Structure 1
Amino acid sequence: MANGHSVTNDGAVMLLVSNGSADTDATITFNLVRTVDGQSVVPRVVTVGFARSIALGTFAVADYGTPLTFDVSSADISIQALKI
């Protein structure tokens, strides 16, 4: 499974995330570009239950940057990006 996924983010992007596994939860980890007192901020981790789909977003450019970058914990995750 390759990581380092990205989509163009202008602050009006949502992701539809589906976990195709029948028995294992998965995670999607969003990298944040914001710093606090010069220190990196801990990435945001979202759990997607097995056989579930969730909608995530929007993603503020000041926090998530453009592009929006993320990693997934499983090849069972599928992602669709939508501009709203």
Structure 2
Amino acid sequence: MPRVNVPLNTPTRAGIALTTTPGDATNHHVMVNDGRTAILIKNTGSTVARVVTFKISKKVDGQAVTARTASLVAGEQKLFGPFSVEEYGGRMEIDVAHAELTLTPIKL
């Protein structure tokens, strides 16, 4: 199945209600990346740390580059980014280890 699209939240001076996407550990995710996007990831679980992986699309000498991973303890949230388009691509792929991770991309 195709990756789940994660819609961007674009702030305004009047403020916006953030749209959060629940994690899909089977199909994983993709979001638009223009180099000025950050993503808030939250582990909504109460007992176990969970891992998120940001895929790097760039290759060096034809070899894939190791993806960036981060672990979030139970209840923790972290803001990641921005991500270089050259390294992560215009359609950045994000893998989550469990549905307890939620994703909220924010255009800067």
- The residue that corresponds to 1:30 in the other structure is 54
5+ long unaligned stretches in structure 1: none
Larger radius of gyration: 2
User: Is contact 1:3–1:70 with CA below 8 Å preserved after alignment?
Assistant: no
Identity %: 29
4+ runs deviating over 3 angstroms = none
In structure 2, stretches of 5+ residues that fail to align are: 1-24
Q: Which is richer in strand? A: 1
- Once the two structures are superposed, residues 17-53 of structure 1 have per-residue CA deviations (whole angstroms, 9 ceiling, x without a partner) of 0001111000111111111111110111111111100
CA-based RMSD of the aligned residues comes to 0.9
Using the size of structure 1 for normalisation, the TM-score is: 0.94
CA distance in 2, matches of 1:2, 1:11: 26
CA distance in 2, matches of 1:73, 1:35: 24
* TM-score, normalised by the number of residues in structure 2: 0.74
